[in-house]
Each structure stands twice: as structure tokens, then as C-alpha cells.
Amino acid sequence: MSNPSLLILPGDGIGPEVMAEVRRIIDWYGDKRGLAFDVSEDLVGGAAYDAHGTPLHDDTMAKAQEVDAVLLGAVGGPKYDVLDFSVKPERGLLRLRKEMDLYSNLRPAQCFDALADFSSLKKDVVAGLDIMIVRELTSGVYFGEPRGIFEEGNERVGINTQRYTESEIDRVARSAFELAMRRGKKVCSMEKANVMESGILWREVVTEVGKDYPEVELSHMYADAGAMQLCRWPKQFDVIVTDNLFGDLLSDAAAMLTGSLGMLPSASLGAPMENGRPKALYEPVHGSAPDIAGQGKANPIACILSFAMALRYSFDQGAEAERLEKAIETVLADGVRTADLLGEEGVTPVSTSGMGDAILAAL
Amino acid sequence: MSNPSLLILPGDGIGPEVMAEVRRIIDWYGDKRGLAFDVSEDLVGGAAYDAHGTPLHDDTMAKAQEVDAVLLGAVGGPKYDVLDFSVKPERGLLRLRKEMDLYSNLRPAQCFDALADFSSLKKDVVAGLDIMIVRELTSGVYFGEPRGIFEEGNERVGINTQRYTESEIDRVARSAFELAMRRGKKVCSMEKANVMESGILWREVVTEVGKDYPEVELSHMYADAGAMQLCRWPKQFDVIVTDNLFGDLLSDAAAMLTGSLGMLPSASLGAPMENGRPKALYEPVHGSAPDIAGQGKANPIACILSFAMALRYSFDQGAEAERLEKAIETVLADGVRTADLLGEEGVTPVSTSGMGDAILAAL
Ligand SMILES: CC(C)[C@H](C(=O)O)[C@@H](O)C(=O)O
Ligand SMILES: CC(C)[C@H](C(=O)O)[C@@H](O)C(=O)O
């Protein structure tokens, strides 16, 4: 049997430097744990635009469809702000999500014990926090038609369409319930059913899916109340399931609450391929951070933890994922810190690759 | 000259009991400060549905159009969850906003010194916080057409339309800049221009309006980053301007951050009427809290501060508004607390009307 294949898309800004550390980890798994991957690398985002005039070349798209998993760094940067909407770096990422049909975006919001002090929230509110936000990723207002800027009378109007079919809601809800079964057995679904008909349908379908998971406690919350409750007492949640746009805001807020933004990975999963593995793309939650790019200041942990998610969700290597997560916890407990995590007394500041060294040593 | 007119719509849940305290304050202004109002009262939300089978009777709508300002308590409750979308309590509120064309929703997120400990955020993050979120209130996905649940092939699809014209963006942006001129001279505009064309138009028009306010520092942020930054360091903001849906989530998150949810008022303003006053509706940010309704536990301060906003924005009585706000600060500093604010040592618990008594005494 051939090795599982990985396509690496470092992207822009700090993407390449954090991905370099991931590659060292991948190599370690090949050398030391007999888990070799066929790794190829390609361009996405601004880097792809610079090379090809498009944020995602068709060849790259085709490769992404064939591999067992894609690892992405980050896209975007001020240099590309002037580009037309259709070729902005983000479009490369959105095309990957859409064409790979990665409908279930898993965004864990976890607070690392060693870092609880970095949260703007009180320690008792966030210490030990471990929630999972499941965000629908291939539909809703991100992709709905009609969309665009149109002339109307003597002015322009900007239009986007929020749009969800029953089956789109059904499949992402199912993935949330499946996750909840392996976690705290609670799902909270968030929409604006009091204002939006798409939210009414969302609530109805999630309720219906919930009947197939009688062990899971299902609740519903308006998204504004959800934003409030995330800020007030996030530990009340286990799994949250929500649409593409609400998920964008709510998962970012939740990530920030943990104080561990540079630490948070994500998995975007689609339907199973022929080999049984889901279509999958893994990426850190943080952006391309152009202000610190190329300076060895970036924290590679979110990207490394994204690879840990790949081990768990694409390659059925839960124990190896845990090994990697434990190594990272050890390193943090030892006080090893990249620039984003400085501020405490008695810690050891390291560069991006210094963090990679420390994690490899802990492995 | 006749007295300025106020229409009071107590609504559902704790609405009537908090509004009863506002009426005592209004009476005090008539008796003691020579500021008499012609007050009428009517039904909205579930209360209106119970009486008339509609969450807002046409007669009430007509009255709202005629008065100088509307004060609203809260709408909604579990009893009405089973109602059809078209007659849910919220539709009454949305109809008022839409037909009165109240496009500029001012939501101050302020942290009261005496209450900073109630925030889930660290004290230094929220103490002294004073930001103003200006939310567009009459357009966007709340009102865009087409909308509904439709059959498509052999399944249903839920559709809503995000829709902004240049003039809709222009007028709410102007109100944000005007406010910033009287505050910290900073406006941050939030959208998802990286994903939504309506966000591109939003950013363009806000930038254009900004040219008329060269003294105001304008910045732009993606709404997900905005949610993050609000959680991380809210004091970086002065005025935030954003659309109806983002404003719904962001202002609720910001309100929760202050720890003073039961304390936050809002003003919804439209174009000037013939008498020069803007069309206006004032309401607390909190909801109808059906779980504690009728028990004298509700905190009337948000609703009373909404009346203070009415004094300021509808009746040009800034000094009188400050008098009321100061009285409330005094009462809080004295340790007078409704049930939602208990927990500290040495405070004096009071009922809803006890809080009214204390504020009247301080006035
Ligand atoms: C980069 C951008 C298009 C993207 C999104 O809005 O989905 C990002 O914010 C995210 O959450 O992954
Ligand atoms: C009650 C509801 C319709 C309303 C909204 O979504 O606008 C509320 O959440 C608000 O923010 O005033």
C-alpha cells in the first residue's frame, strides 16, 4: 500500500514559516513512528496570484481533490488589498472549501492551562475550556446567488444571498451530533430563527436530525444570545453547530476568549472518499499576520495542531495525535514561548523554529 | 406649545414592570423639572397578539408615527414560540423599526464602575469602557427580498437576502461620524468585504462619507476580526458602525462584555420630523426575561437609561439626561442592587420598584 498523501499549501504571510515547522513534525512521524506521508507542496492565495494571476491554479485544485488531506497555512496580506474581489487571496481558500465540498468545519476552542492568563477573560471563566464549534462551510451567504453590486435607479446596491437547503443543514448537523457522541453529548444550534426564514428551516432540520441521537441533549439559541453566552460563560457549551457566517464570527470570538489564538487549529471535512477517508483540509484559525511575517516570530503551534487533527480525522491515528498534543502541552508547561505568548516571568522566549525544536525534543 | 408626546409600549415579560418604574421617573420630570410629557400607552409583541391577533395593531403603528418618541420595554416569550413567523412578537418590533424608518440604532456599551466585577472579563479590560455601536436597523438581511422557505426539487430551501443600497449605507455612516465628532473622533466600520459584495459596497460608501469628516479617524475591520477585538481589548474602539445582522451579534457581545447587560439602553433614530426631532424609539438591550417576569426581580435601569437617551436625543435635554444618569451612578455606588447584580458583600438587595424608589430619592 502506498503512503497516505498530503498536499501542503503554505500560502502567505507567516504561512510558509509555520508550515516549515509542520514539515519537520511530519518527517519525524515518518522516521520515528513509521507513519510516512507522500508530501507535495503548492501555492495558494497571494503567493499563487503572484505566480499565476489566480489565487488557486486549476492544477492545484485538481491535486487537492486527489490527496488524502490538504494542510493550509494562511492566505492574504495588504499587498493584495487592491486586487479585484474575484482574484483576492481569500477566493483561493473559498474555492478549495467549495469544490472539495468541505461542509463541516471543526473549530475547537480550547484553553491551554499554561496560557489561561493570556485570556482577557477571568481565569475561572476560561480555565479548562474545551468546546467544539461546527461551522457549515460550503453554503449560506458565502456562496448564495444572486450576489454582486448592481445598478438600481440612480444608485448601486450590494446583494448577497443566504441560502440553505435541507440536505445541507442535515449533513452538517449530523457531523455535529457525531462529534457530540464522542464528547460531552450536548449540541447547541445557533441561528436567527426569530428574524430569518433560513434560520427557521435550520432549526427544524437540526431538530429532526437530533431525533436520531436521543442520547445527545439538543438546545437552540439565537446567534446574538449565543455571542453573549460565549462571552459570559463559555463552559456551558460542548458542541455548537451553526451556519457559515455566524460560525465565522462566533468561532473567532470563542477562539479569542481562550487567549490561545495562535494555538487553535481547524479541520474542514467533506464526504468520505473511495478509500473511506473524508475529504479534508486542515488549517490554523489565525490569519497570515503580515506584520510579523518572515521574522521568526510566528507561533507554529496552531498549524502543528492542525496536523494533529489530520492524524485524528483523516488517518485514524488518534493516539499519535494525542502524542503530539501532549508534547505541545509539555513544551508550554516548561515555559517555552514564542513572541505572541511573552509577558509572564520566568519563561523561555523562542523563535518559530525554536518552538519546532522544543516540540520535536518533547516528542 | 403642547407637551412633547411619548408612546409607551411595555410589551411582554418584564417589560411592564420595568416600564412602571420609567413612568415614575417621567412623572418626576413633570412635577419637579417642569418637563411634562403627554404619555399614552399601548400594546406590542405577545401582549398585542393576545389582544388583537397581531403583534402590532395598525392603530398602534399610526400612533407611533405621530408621537415625538416611543419607549418600548421588551417583546417575546416561550408562550409565543409556536406562533407563525408572521405574527411572532418580534415582528411587532421589526415593523416599528421598518415603518418608522429608524435606520440608526445606537447601542452604547458602557461599563459602570460599580459593576466592573460582574464582567466575565478582567477588570482592567473593561473598567471605564465606553463605546458606541451604531447598527443599521432597517435593511440588510432582516428585510431583504426574496425571503422564505421554498420547495426546490424534492427538498426545501431557506432563503434570506442581504441587501444594502448606497443611500442606506450613507445615512447610517453619517450618523456614526456625527456621533464620533461628539465623542472620541474614531469610527471603525465592520463588514465582511473579503467575502460579501454587500460588504465591499459598505466599505466604499463609508470611506466616501468619511471624507466629509476629516477630523474623524476611520478604520475598517472584518466582522470576525471585530468580534475578536471586542473580546480582546474593547477599549480600542470609540464608535463602531456596522450592518443590521453583524450589529445584532456584535452589540450583544459588547453588551455582555461590560457585565452590565441589565443596564444598557438603546436608541433607534430615523430622519428628522417636521418639528426637527428625529423619529425615535428607545428600548433596553435586554430581552423580556420571561423566567423572572412578574416577580419584582427585574432591573429597571436599562429601561430608565433608555428614557435618559430619549431626553438627550429626542428632547435636547442633555443636562437632564446626565442628571438621571448621575442619579443611577449614585445609587449603584451606594450598593443598591436588583437581583441580577447580587453577589458582592455589603450591598442592599432591592426589588424592581425598590430600585425605582432609590433612583427617585437620588434625583
Ligand atoms: C479568510 C476568510 C475568507 C475566512 C472566512 O471568512 O471564512 C476566515 O475568516 C476564516 O474564518 O476561515
Ligand atoms: C428581538 C429581535 C428581533 C432583535 C433583533 O434581532 O434585532 C433583538 O435581538 C435586538 O437586537 O434588538
pLDDT in tens, A145-179: 999 999 999 999 999 999 999 999 999 999 999 99
* Chain A contact for B167 (CB, 8 A cutoff): yes
CB distance A252 to B225 below 8 Å? yes
In ligand 2, the atom with minimum distance to the C-alpha of A194 is 3
Query: Is B142 a known active-site residue?
Result: yes
Rg (CA), chain A: 20
Q: Would you state the torsion angle of the CA atoms of residues A50, A54, A59, A63, taken in this order, to the nearest 10 degrees?
A: 90
Which entry of A29, A49, A103, A142 is annotated as an active-site residue?
A142
CA A186 to chain centre: 21
Q: What residues of A form the annotated binding site for NAD(+)?
A: 77-90, 287-299
Q: Chain-wide mean pLDDT for chain A?
A: 96
Containing A229, the helix (H) or strand (E) segment is: helix A223-232
Of B76, B164, B246, the CB nearest to A157: B164
B59 assigned ligand-binding residue: no
The pLDDT, as a whole number, for residue B117 is 87
Closest CA to A310 of A22, A1, A21, A18: A22
Cβ distance of B162 and A141 shorter than 8 Å: yes
Task: Give first-to-last CA distance, chain B, whole Å.
Answer: 27
Strands (E), B137-264: 144-152, 155-165, 186-191, 217-222, 239-242
The pLDDT, as a whole number, for residue B1 is 66
B256: helix, strand or coil: helix
pLDDT in tens, A200-239: 999 999 999 999 999 999 999 999 999 999 999 999 999 9
From residue A361, alpha-carbon distances to A18, A168, A327, A330, A339 in Å are 17, 44, 9, 10, 20
Closest CA to B295 of B353, B360, B356, B361: B353
Q: Which residue of B has its CA nearest to A195?
A: B142
The pLDDT of residue A73 is above 70 = yes
Q: What is the mean pLDDT of residues A107-118?
A: 89
pLDDT in tens, A118-132: 899 999 999 999 999
Residue ranges of A 183-212 with Cβ closer than 8 A to chain B: 192, 194-202
The pLDDT, as a whole number, for residue A1 is 67
Q: Is it true that the peptide bond before A146 is cis, omega within 30 degrees of 0?
A: yes
Residue ranges of B 242-281 with Cβ closer than 8 A to chain A: 245-246, 248-250, 252-253, 255-257, 261
Q: Is A168 in the pocket of ligand 1 (CB under 6 A)?
A: no
Strands (E), chain B: 5-11, 38-41, 69-74, 104-110, 130-136, 144-152, 155-165, 186-191, 217-222, 239-242, 265-272, 278-284, 336-337, 348-349
Q: Using a CB cutoff of 8 Å and minimum separation of 24, what contacts does B320-327 make?
A: B320/B29, B320/B33, B320/B35, B323/B363, B324/B25, B324/B359, B324/B363, B327/B359, B327/B362, B327/B363
Residue ranges of A 105-134 with Cβ closer than 8 A to chain B: 120-122, 125
The pLDDT, as a whole number, for residue B246 is 98
Backbone angles phi, psi at A254, to 5 degrees: -60, -40
Residue of the CA atom closest to atom 3 of ligand 2: B90
The mean pLDDT values, 10 residues at a time, for chain B of 363 residues are 93 98 98 97 98 98 98 95 92 97 97 88 93 98 98 97 98 98 97 96 98 98 96 96 98 90 93 94 95 96 98 96 96 94 89 98 96
The pLDDT, as a whole number, for residue B113 is 84
Q: Which residue of B has its CA nearest to A228?
A: B253
From residue A333, alpha-carbon distances to A14, A326, A336 in Å are 25, 10, 8
Which entry of B42, B243, B248, B340 is annotated as an active-site residue?
B248
Indicate the residue type of A165: T
Q: Is A101 in the pocket of ligand 1 (CB under 6 A)?
A: no
Residue of the CA atom closest to atom 11 of ligand 1: A248
Cβ distance of B158 and A199 shorter than 8 Å: yes
Q: What is the mean pLDDT of residues A253-267?
A: 90
For B196, the grid coordinates are 460579501
Closest CA to A46 of A101, A8, A83, A19: A83
In ligand 1, the atom with minimum distance to the C-alpha of A93 is 3
Query: Is A192 a known active-site residue?
Result: yes
Q: Which residue of B has its CA nearest to A168?
A: B157
A112: helix, strand or coil: coil
The pLDDT, as a whole number, for residue A283 is 98
In chain A, % of residues over pLDDT 70? 100
Rounded Cα distance, B213 and B222, in Å: 22
Q: What residues of A form the annotated binding site for Mg(2+)?
A: 224, 248, 252
The pLDDT, as a whole number, for residue B23 is 98
B216: helix, strand or coil: coil
Q: Is B195 in the pocket of ligand 1 (CB under 6 A)?
A: yes
Closest CA to B44 of B32, B54, B30: B54
| Domain annotation for chain B: domains and CATH numbers | 1-107+262-363 (3.40.718.10), 120-258 (3.40.718.10)
* pTM to 2 decimal places: 0.96
Q: Is A228 in the pocket of ligand 2 (CB under 6 A)?
A: no
